[in-house]
Structure formats: structure tokens, C-alpha cells
A and B are shown apart, each in its own frame.
Chain A
């Protein structure tokens, strides 16, 4: 995914991209492969969605109806609504290698015989927007988009759409409502989006990075892809590190790289004067991983062994000068604010958890509040909410109650935040 990226940091032009093997995946697909073959290759590769949920990409594509009786138009939509706090990898790809996304969407569109596509890009990504817009014009001028692409029977139009804001638009079904200029509440499923999605037509929605992984799979094959990784999951991942490290930023590494290697080797370790307390591994909706467990491999299945998820794979570090209660409060305030308001557990429950955390942080908490918070964690599960926003919000809270209980109790017993006054215990106290 990084091969075409320029050393000067400017976006790869069409020339840069083609020189690095760009659009060869598409060429191979159009010249040598049937649409079903492309889907099968992606399925066999084991590629899992990079938006955080990790669903089988090829599995999703294989549920799209094919053939002359399928409803038309069919759509391929890119989820570029990277607004999960702590996620910054799609910005990296869109800024540095926009043609890779275009080729990935073209391969997907060919595989599922789609007619039109949209890139749904979050607001505030002005520089990536400009880069993608330019790349779309370059691709169209070179014949990679439009009618009868590269002389084949395959035609595909791709539009860039900028969101008007709000995190819930990153929920795929809400995104389709947003694209239709409906209020972006999520949709009930069934029907699933590959059955009835955008404008009630069959639609594939995938994350930016997921599409970006596809061209090299199509070009180089499944065995090559599987050979790239450290663990069994195949391929590479755009990881990232943010927080008090020497070299924050994104880096493409084999899937299954350990969290320790990411932090200590690629990000250069902690800045002087800061110790690592815990890691938020893949966005605000993932559970904290304590410093003692950072040897874990960062892939979808390994992260379950430390009671967390890989999510987006961009990590944010909790250092020993930062209050874990304050960080958890900040996360819950975000989720409470971003609730679309549609279902009661999310709309009411998130506000109440944010309120209680605020009381605790400011020294007005009571011991019973911890039980109420735990009850909310239990209640706002996936089977009780209309979408995964609230269940996601409960993941960092569950982990915080499990790992930082001493800090919660200290706030309650001392009636204030000890980090604010520099009195907080050193790193390691109370963390698993």
C-alpha cells in the first residue's frame, strides 16, 4: 500500500502510481479474470475489513447478486468517514496514495458488477479531498473510469461526496442514509446492504484501507498476500502510533506485528519523562490494553486474548502523567455527543455514563457510581442497541473499570483528581 508513496510526502501522481505497478491489478482482472474469480481471490486471501469490525471482505462481496437478473444500478461505496477518535490511517492513505483507493474500488466494482461508486469522505479532510479529487480527474482522463474501461465491457463512474459531519455517518447503513441526504440514523437489518443498500439497490460498503489492500491481491495472488504477514491473517496493515512517543505517525507493517515493536521500534519508544501505562489499540471504541500485555500481536484474533480488539490499528498511548478517568470521560463524552438519538439505551445511557464519569473526575463521585457504570456496560450490549455506537462506547469503559479501578477509587475517596495536582501514583499501580 505504500510502494507508490513519495518520499517528499506529496500525493503520488498517476505517473508515480503506474510506475510502481499501479492499475496492474485492474488490468489483470479485466484481461484474465471473471468477476467471480476476483471475489474468490479476495475471499481466499482472508482479507478482513479494515474499518474496525474485521468482517470477511470477500465474504461480503459474495453476497452481492450477479448476472442479468440482478437489480441495477449496483453500488460500491467507500467508507471514508474516519472520525473514530484515535484513528488516522485512512487520512494517511488518502493523502499519500489516492489512486490506490480508486484501483481498489474498480476491482471491487468489477467483482460485483457494480455500475456506480461513491467515496464518502468525512468533513475536515480538506487536503485528502483535494488529492482524491485530483486523482479521480487523472484516472478518468487516462481511461480508468467511465465507459468501457481499458477497452473492456466494464464501465464504472466514481463520485466523491463530502459529509456534512457527525460520527454516526461512519456506521455503514447510516452512511447510506447520509449519501441519500436522509437524516443519518442507522438502518435496521435485514435487509443487508448487499441485498438492498444505497437507494435500495445492492451495495458493497468497505473502508478505505480495505479497498487499498485489494489491487495487490488481484495483481500478485493469494499466496503472495498470505506470505507477507507474521501471523496467519495475511497481508499488511497500516498501523499508527499517537501519544507521548518519539516518532508518532503511520507505518505499513506485516499483519501481526506486535504492539511492543510498533511502540518501541517504529515509534522510537516513550518520550523522556513518560512511562507507558496502557494502550488504546484501535480507536476510542476499543478496550485499553495494559502496558504489561504489549507483546500481543496486532491482528484481529490475537487481540481477543488481551480482552480487546485491533479496531483500526492506530494506537493512542496512555502515559503515566495522564488521568485514566479523565481519558475515559473524554471518550464517553464523545460518544454521548455523537449519539444519533434514535434508540433509548444509547441516547439516555451514554449521557448518564458521561455524567457519572464527570462527577467522579471532579471529585463528587460515590462508590455506588462504579456499580451503576458496570451495569451500563452490561446493558448497552449489541443485542440491546440499534447499532454498535453505544456497545463500542462501553468497551473502553469496561476496560477502565477493570484496569484502573484504583484510580477511580482514589478520585472518589480523595474528592479530586490526583493527576491534576501531580500527586498521581507512578505507572504500574493498579494496572493488570
Chain B
């Protein structure tokens, strides 16, 4: 496997923001994940060749980060805030409803590959808790009755 021309172009555009290629690694990992949805060992190798870094170095960065996925995820990632404000505003009930509607427990991916459900720390939306994100969209406050409509918006 190797980088596509489009991937290479996008990564090249990142480089001027940083003094050297290695410093662009985090942003490059993020950019490649946006295209490939998750970062396999092959993806790290492709990126390593571009940046002049080893797979081990990139894996060290990727596994420290909670938003870089080293295993496959669904088409849509659902993030449920479990920090203390949302916790006090109904996290337990919301989680139960989301798990029930998706038919997976926290951390799981639906068999049809549509959703992966993950916990997330404070989303900075405490005044709109309980809060959740689906992909780049923030939802909150989310009542149990809203969950179906929210998830239904993501094919």
C-alpha cells in the first residue's frame, strides 16, 4: 500500500505550518485518518515513509492519543461525554438508551459498520449536558427520546 496522489497532496499542504516534517506528524496522522477512517499498521508505514519516521514512532504518538484509531471504526463515531457535569445531568440514562438503540455496548461497533460508540471526556458543553457528538456534530442537551432522531440522521 502507499499514499494516493490526493493523500500526498493534502499532506504536502500541511508541511509549511511546521518547521520540519517530523513536527507535522500529529496533523498528518489526523489528516490520513480522515481519509482512511482508521490507522492500520500499513497506514503508519505509508505515513512513515512520507515523514521520515518509523512505524514505532508513529504508533507511540497514535496510541497516546484518544482520537487516533488503531483499529477499525464504523462510518460514524458516537462520542458520549462521561465527565462530571454530564454525569450529573443524565449520562447513565443516555448511555443506556444509546447502547440499546445501537445494540452495542460502549466501545463496540454495530454489525452493519454504521456506528462505533466511544466514551469521551468533557466536551466543553457542560451548559448543554448531557452532551454527545456524532462525527463533527455536537448534540446537547440530549434526552433519551431524542436519541433515535439524532442517530437516524447519520447513514
Contact = CB atoms under 8 A, between A and B. Distances in A.
B90 to A, nearest CB: 11
Which of A127, A199, A242, A244 is packed against the most chain B CB atoms within 10 Å? A242
Contact of B124 (A83, A241, A316, A334): A83
Interface stretch (B1-9, B19-27, B94-102, B104-112): B19-27
A36 interface: no
A85 B83 CA distance: 6
A269 to B, nearest CB: 15
B133 interface: yes
B71 interface: no
B30 interface: yes
A54 interface: no
Contacts of B19: 199
A166 B65 contact: yes
B122 A181 contact: no
B149 interface: no
A125 B124 contact: yes
- Please classify how large the interface on chain A is, using the bins under 10, 10 to 19, 20 to 34, 35 or more: 35 or more
Contact of A161 (B27, B127, B138): B27
Contacts of A284: 83-84, 122
B127 A166 contact: no
Contacts, number: 128
B88 A162 contact: no
A92 to B, nearest CB: 9
B140 to A, nearest CB: 10
B35 interface: no
Contact of A316 (B61, B84, B133): B84
B124 A90 contact: yes
Nearest to A249: B127
B50 interface: no
Contacts of B60: 183
Given A127-B138, A181-B26, A334-B83, A88 B125 contact: yes
Given A87-B126, A127-B138, A181-B25, 7 more contacts: A86-B85, A87-B124, A126-B138, A161-B17, A164-B62, A166-B64, A284-B84
Interface of A: 82-88, 90-91, 122-127, 159, 161-167, 178-181, 183-184, 199, 240-244, 248-250, 280, 284, 314, 316, 318-319, 322, 326-327, 330-331, 334, 337-338, 340
